Each structure stands twice: as C-alpha cells, then as structure tokens.
Structure 1
C-alpha cells in the first residue's frame, strides 16, 4: 500500500497536477506510457 501511495504522489505532482480528479488513474496511465 505504501508503494502505491508513493507512486500516486509522484504522478500526482507530475501530470495529475492538472487533472486532480484522475489522480487514481494517473499511475495507471503513466505505467501504460
């Protein structure tokens, strides 16, 4: 769980910063890229 939180935070401040609502989808999208 801690790992997921870490990744979420990383993407949240990177790309999800613009979205905000898709914070939970950010990590998945990033992994896809």
Structure 2
C-alpha cells in the first residue's frame, strides 16, 4: 500500500513539477534537460 500511495502522490505532484520545469526552461532555454 505504501508503494501505491507514493506512486499516487508522484502522479498528483507531476503536473506541478512539470509546470515548474517548463518555467525553468522558459527562463533558461540553454539548460533544457529531458528526463
């Protein structure tokens, strides 16, 4: 259950992380790093 909960938390936080990631790319286009 703990692994499932952690996975769900990551899926929920992913859009927020991606938004921050896109903001960083907008500020530093020369530092683009793909996962």
If the length of structure 2 is used for normalisation, what is the TM-score? 0.46
Tell me which of the two structures has the higher relative contact order, counting C-alpha pairs closer than 8 angstroms and 6 or more residues apart.
1
If the length of structure 1 is used for normalisation, what is the TM-score? 0.48
Which structure: larger Rg?
2
